């Protein structure tokens, strides 16, 4: 069984959106890292103050989909829904 990897960037339009990421990210990180099947989950700032690098790895497709479902209805999901994401997913 192959793990699922997501890599890419979270791209804010302005510093206001970046502030939303900063506000909601700590709880999002904690909840995601505690999920069954999460192998690694990192969202790190880049040299650009409105861009974050996102790297996720989940044990399998089922745990990745469970994560995606949880996030879609979470505070993080609602607060950041308008922020652009450029992701590549492998292993599905």
What integer pLDDT is reported at residue 1 of this predicted model? 66
Q: Which residues pair with 4 in a beta bridge?
A: 58
Interior angle at CA 33, CA 27 and CA 34, nearest 5: 90
CB 62 within 8 A of CB 14: no
pLDDT, the chain, mean: 96
* pTM (predicted TM-score): 0.90
Backbone angles phi, psi at 45, to 5 degrees: -65, 150
Please report, in tens digits, the pLDDT of each residue of the chain (92 residues total). Answer: 689 999 999 999 999 999 999 999 999 999 999 999 999 999 999 999 999 999 999 999 999 999 999 999 999 999 999 999 999 999 98
């Amino acid at each position: 069984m192959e793990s699922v990897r997501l890599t890419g960037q979270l791209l804010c339009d302005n510093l206001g959106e970046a502030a939303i990421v900063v506000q909601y990210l700590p709880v999002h990180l904690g909840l995601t890292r505690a999920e069954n099947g999460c192998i690694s989950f990192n969202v790190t700032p880049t040299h650009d103050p409105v861009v974050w690098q996102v790297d996720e790895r989940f044990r399998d497709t089922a745990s990745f989909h469970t994560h995606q479902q949880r996030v879609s209805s979470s505070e993080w999901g609602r607060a950041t829904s308008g922020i652009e994401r450029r992701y590549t997913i492998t292993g599905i």
